[in-house]
Amino acid sequence: MTQKRDAAIVGIHEYPSRDVEGQVSALQIKAESAARALDDAGLSWSDVDALYDAGEGGGLGGLNMAEYFGLKPNVIDTTNVGGSSYEYHAAHAKRDITAGKARVALLTYGSTAHSRVQAIGVGGGGFGGAHPADNMDVFAGATLVANYAMVAQRHMHQFGTTSEQLAEISVATRCHAMRNPEAVQAMHDLEFLDIRETTVADVAGSRMIADPLHLLECCMISDGGGAVVIAAPEVARDCTKIPVWLLGTGEATAYPENGRDITVSAAAQSAPGAFDEAGVSPDEMDIAMIYDSFSITVLTILEDLGFCAKGEGGSWVEGGRLRFDRPDAGPALNTDGGGLSSNHPGMRGIFLLIEAARQLRGESCSQVADAKLAVAHGNGGMLGSRHCAGTIVMGRD
């Protein structure tokens, strides 16, 4: 099977600060990131003809963002599926470019969740009862952490998964974060108490937030943002950096259903199509950028992506398999330090694309030698109830 090279990531930028101290707005983060990503590609504003936006800047998402940037795009896509929005945007950009509707697509994200003291994980009380689904749940006080924790509890019950096994996710991610100066700075700015590599015992022994998830299994709440530029092959060939091809994409949705197995995420539906389209299998992946809102998110998705069988994730991740310096053992996980230890302003999906592209360019702080294939998987919404999954398989020439 020949891999199609229809669209490539040609420009990336991750906004460096995780604590903007009220000095910069989400819109300004988006615009600055867009300019830096276009510059990274060797392109300019006038090259952009397609805009993808999750609407976190407020207003009429796509319309207001086009004007703010000073663009008159032929394509606007305002898909918002939470943290997986950017995997959806990448998939849609590939689709639109392949269809000849666009040549240069711009994806941006900006958030000041930390500065606004937004208690994302432990706010509780749901989203206010406006939607009928929320109106059934609002009374229970299920925090976001508890929502994910209920998946972990069930995973432990069905498969014997342990806290020590889940801790492996946090340990590998922190190991990578300590090698990334921006992640280390982020942990300082967000006043992490003990900034160092961690052990399984550290993680499993940290304070319980919502049983069975501990503090060091939960992502940070930062400010931040970023941008990604995706271009058609004829544009990509002339860009500054090597093209990072979008080889395959998949999307899927899951929500509470009577009798549903909560340990299986929407990734089980989104992944097969993405790998099939790319003509590769999970065991060929050098890099796995998986949305690490919590340890259990990664463990569940590793299984659903097909790295191991359902229920075997716990033993599969043991022994540091996911570290960047053990490429023969399995994919390197979240080599930027992840949402757990580098950057999580609320919707982390764009950073999965950015770090995967860095790896395939050879630019990561925890570079896997000769990395050729990567998978980025975003999970938006809530793993334990309703969520969207976006899988993007990427490769270089």
Partner 1 sequence: MADRPLPKTNEADTRAFWEATRDSRLTYQKCSDCGTVVFYPRRHCTGCLGRNLVWEESAGCGSVYTYSVVRQSYHPFFRDKVPYAVAWIDLDEGPRLLSNVVGVDDPVSDIRIGMRVAVTWEEHDDLCIPLFEPDED
Instruction: Tell me which of 65, 150, 228, 254 binds partner 1, using CB under 8 A.
Output: 150
Instruction: Tell me which of 146, 183, 227, 302 binds partner 1, using CB under 8 A.
Output: 146
Per CB under 8 A, which region of 146-154, 193-201, 273-281, 330-338 contacts partner 1? 146-154
Measured between alpha carbons, how far is 44 from 114 in angstroms, rounded to an integer? 31
Q: What are the Cα distances from residue 30, in Å, to 21, 24, 70, 226, 376?
A: 16, 10, 13, 6, 21
Measured between alpha carbons, how far is 72 from 63 in angstroms, rounded to an integer? 9
SS3 345: coil
Is residue 143 a contact point for partner 1 (CB under 8 A)?
Answer: yes
Closest CA to 333 of 383, 282, 381, 384: 282
- In total, the chain counts a number of residues equal to 397
Is residue 257 a contact point for partner 1 (CB under 8 A)?
Answer: yes
- Is the CB of 141 or the CB of 319 nearer to partner 1? 141
* Ramachandran angles phi, psi of 373, nearest 5°: -130, 140
Number of residues that bind partner 1 (CB under 8 A): 41
- Is the CB of 35 or the CB of 133 nearer to partner 1? 133
Instruction: Tell me which of 81, 262, 278, 298 binds partner 1, using CB under 8 A.
Output: 262
Instruction: Tell me which of 24, 75, 76, 138 binds partner 1, using CB under 8 A.
Output: 138
Instruction: Tell me which of 25, 78, 162, 385 binds partner 1, using CB under 8 A.
Output: 385
Is residue 116 a contact point for partner 1 (CB under 8 A)?
Answer: no
Residues 350 and 109 sit within 8 Å (Cβ to Cβ): yes
Show the binding pattern over residues 155-184: x = contacts partner 1 (CB under 8 A), - = does not: --x---------------------------
Show the binding pattern over residues 214-253: x = contacts partner 1 (CB under 8 A), - = does not: ----------------------------------------
In the complex, least distance from residue 157 CB atom to partner 1, rounded to whole angstroms: 5
In the complex, least distance from residue 158 CB atom to partner 1, rounded to whole angstroms: 9
User: From start to end of the chain, where are the E strands?
Assistant: 8-14, 50-52, 75-77, 104-111, 208-210, 213-214, 224-231, 244-254, 287-290, 332-333, 373-381, 387-395
Instruction: Tell me which of 42, 55, 62, 129 binds partner 1, using CB under 8 A.
Output: 129
Pairing status of strand 244-254 against strand 387-395: antiparallel
Radius of gyration of the CA atoms of the chain, in A = 19
* Residues of this chain that bind partner 1 (CB under 8 A): 119, 122-126, 129-130, 132-133, 135-143, 145-146, 149-151, 153-154, 157, 207-213, 256-260, 262, 385
